[in-house]
Every structure is written in C-alpha cells, then in structure tokens.
Structure 1
Amino acid sequence: MTYQTLTIAIADKVATITLNRPDVRNAFNETTISDITLAFDQLGRDEAVRAIVLAANGPAFCAGADLNWMKKMAGYSHEENNADAMQLAEMLRTIYLCPKPVVAKVQGDCYAGGMGLVAACDIVVAVEEANFCLSEVKLGLIPATISPYVIKAMGEQAARRYFLTAERFTAQQALRIGFTHEVVAAGELDATVAAIVKALVNNSPNAVQQAKVLVRDVAGHPVTDALLADTAERIAHIRASEQGREGVQSFLDKRKPAWLN
C-alpha cells in the first residue's frame, strides 16, 4: 500500500508506522486518519508482524489536528461534524483493538489528538524533552473523541485536572500519572523501544494477543463468579492450544519454542 502521510517499514517481525508530516508537526487531517486506520487494520492481520511501533518524523510527535483541517471543519454542519468525529473515533479504536501489541515511540511534543494516538497504544516510551497537553478547552472544544483512551491511560483524577486546565505537562509528570511507561534520554529512545519490542516478539504470538484482550476485558470489572468462570475458561483454552502446549513442552525440554525458529 502507498500512504500519503505515513511511512511503513517491516523488519524482524516488527512493523514501524511513522507519522510523516514534520512540516506541520505531524498534525493529522482526514487523510492521516484514513492512512492510520488502514495501516493498523492491515498490519494487525499480517501474520508476519508480531509487534507494531508507532513513531514520528521531526521534532514533534503529533500536534493534534491540522489547522487547515480545522478551518474546513469550522464550516461543517452538525451532521458533517459528527461523521468527521466518527472517522477519528474509528481510527483510535482500530489502534486500541489491534491484535498486535503497539508501542508508541514518542520523540517529541504530543498535544491534543496526538495524546489520543498515544493513549490507544499498549506501551508508551517518551523522551525526557517531550511535553504533553490536552489543549482543547483553550479553543472552546473538549477532548471528547480521545477521552475513552486518555482517561484509561492517565486515570480520572488526572483527567479532571488536565482536561479542564489545558496545562502543558512534562514527560516526567506523564510518567507519574501513568500516561507513559518509561521516560528516557533522547539518545536512549531507540535502544529502549528495541528492547521492549524484542521481548514482545520473543513471546508466544497467540499468548500476547490473548493477554492484550484479557487486560481489556478484565480491567475495571468486579471479581464476580462470572469473571472467575471466564478467566478459568481462558486459561483452560490456551493451555490446550498449539502454542500453549508447545510453550510448556519447550520449557520442560529446555529448548526454544517453535515460534522462535
């Protein structure tokens, strides 16, 4: 596939999707949204890919919505605005539900809708210099479409502050509230992401996929009889699976599992 706003590279079972509009700080428009949705859908179904890295070219990771796109939206009807927002919502859901683990490689500032992109990923690594901001209320807007993912990532209490104040906060503050998993020096970003990705691709592809679904399905639910039955069924099912049997047997035999061959 040819993408207008992205570059895609696949090597060693890892796909890297790179936002490639550095001249506008990787702000997204309808074309970017379409490109990202299609890329994650296709790579999520590619059996040769075991992990995806979402990266960006230039000094900024993503500045949110493109100004020219926002100017065009200013003249939209309610119905047009709703359809446009649903395209953004579908993009974020496609990332969030992607069967492959997704690592956000945040090399620079991440604002507004860009925070939604990051929050929809599974693992987030950012450089120390990166700043974050949910700037929507400064424009008379709200971070509605990205809110399901951002609130999950930073928690309700942090969202109460940053949704309302539109304050810029540092990568260290993002780490403290749980929005990022790691904050590293710029020179360490590539190596840190590579180490995480290596861990992902060395694990059972089926187990990684099912573990991702497990977190999504169990988080926030009370420990009921139904939940106990569900989790018991999941472990019973995966124990009997091909990769489940192979993983246990290879451990007992002190050899590499077949998925590493």
Structure 2
Amino acid sequence: MASSSAISQGSAPMPRNKAAEVNAQANHGQPHQPEIAFSMAQLWDGTAFIAQTAVVTFSLSLSGRLLARPLTLFSWHPLSQLLGLFLLLQSVLVLQPTHTAGQKRVGQTVHAALNFASFAAFTAGFCAIYLNKERNGAAAGAASVAHFTTLHGALGATLTAMLAGQHVVGLTMWAVPALYGGEARARSVWKLHRVSGYVSLLLLLATFGTAAGTGFVRNALEIESWVFYVPMALIAVGVLPRIHTSKLGFSTKKA
C-alpha cells in the first residue's frame, strides 16, 4: 500500500499518476518511513485465525485433562510441549505478513523472543520425559534405559536437535550477520532458515500427531486420535496459505 502525502488547502487536485510522481520526487533522499506500522493483529488476520483457534482449543482441552490428574514429573512433558507449540506458532505467524522495513525490524525482535521462549519450553519437556524414563528404569532395577524407541520419541528428539540448530543460525544472523560473509550470502542463508523453520513446524505437528498413539494418551487420558489429528491439520491449513514463496527463493509471487 503506497503512502499518501498531504495536499495543501486550495490546491487543485492532480491526476493520480502525476501525484505519485510528485510524491516520489519529494521523498527522494529522505529516510524511508514504514508505510504500515507493525501490528499484533497479524497474529490472527486471514487464515491465521484458523490456526489460532485450533491451537488454543487443543491446548486448553489437553491441559485441562492433564491438570485434572495428580501432577508428576511426566506431566511436565506434555504441558511444556503444549506451551512450546503455542509460542512457536506465534513466532511463525508474527513474521509471515511483514512488508516494510519497520515491520520486519519489530517482527524479527518479537519472533526471536517467542522462539527462545518456545525452545525453553520444548527443552523443559524433553528433559522431563528423559528424566522420568531414567527414574522409572532405576526404580525397576534396570542397568540402562533405552530412549527414543518409538516413532513419537524419535521425531521428538530429531525436532529438538533441529530447533537448536534453527536458533543458533537465527540468532547469529540477527545479531552478527557479518559471520555469513556479506549481505548476499546472508540472504541466501536466511531463505534456508525460513524453509527449515516451516519444515520444523510441520515436523512438530507430526510429532504431536504421533502422540495420539502413545499408551498414556490412549489408556490414561482416553483421548481419541482425531482430537490430535484435526487441530494439527487445522494449524497447517492456517499457516501454509500465508507463505510467500518469493521469500523462500522459489518464485516471485505469493503462494
């Protein structure tokens, strides 16, 4: 959306094209002003509303089931992962519709803060399930405990490693871009960072989907699989249409 300049009182109206030329000349050499201010409404505009509705209802419903039971070390695994999912989704949505330099600066700061908060939650959840399994193994007298033996566990471990890499790359590109050898190369890495971010989000949704088949969900919580599958699908439906493929280096048009 192009910004409009003020017109003095009493001046004759100009044709739109002529006015645009005058505005361009007047603004030449002046510092660029953001045409559209950053707004947190970007978190629920358009199809984002679908993703937000899905993640909020899913998180509240599952958290309610978990908090209705006695809290144990294991309880902190799903609770922390739910918080991580919510925060990570916000970090993705907040950057998707940025158009101006001002939006990008604010959006990147919010994105970084949300990402670190989500990674802290995911790390806490990872540690909770790891330590819980170790403690149960020790109580059973096992000499060693096998970890990540299920699809859910393997995906979770892979995702945690990917998110750690994402955060290292994102932080260094944001704080120390000179490490990447110039602006052109940094832009190429930034595109890979975006692609990897969306892949990580899809992997996260798949990991939550596989949780529907775990013994705890089936036997203890007695939750049907669709309660996991439907919200994860709706989150994808809310996020994917907002992707600008030009920012991923695939085309010059919005997906």
Q: Could you say whether these structures have the same fold, taking a TM-score greater than 0.5 normalized by the shorter chain as the test?
A: no
Bin the TM-score by the shorter chain: under 0.3
Structure showing greater Rg? 2
TM-score after normalising by structure 2: 0.25
More helix by share: 2
TM-score after normalising by structure 1: 0.25
**Larger RCO of the pair (alpha carbons < 8 Å, separation 6+):** 2
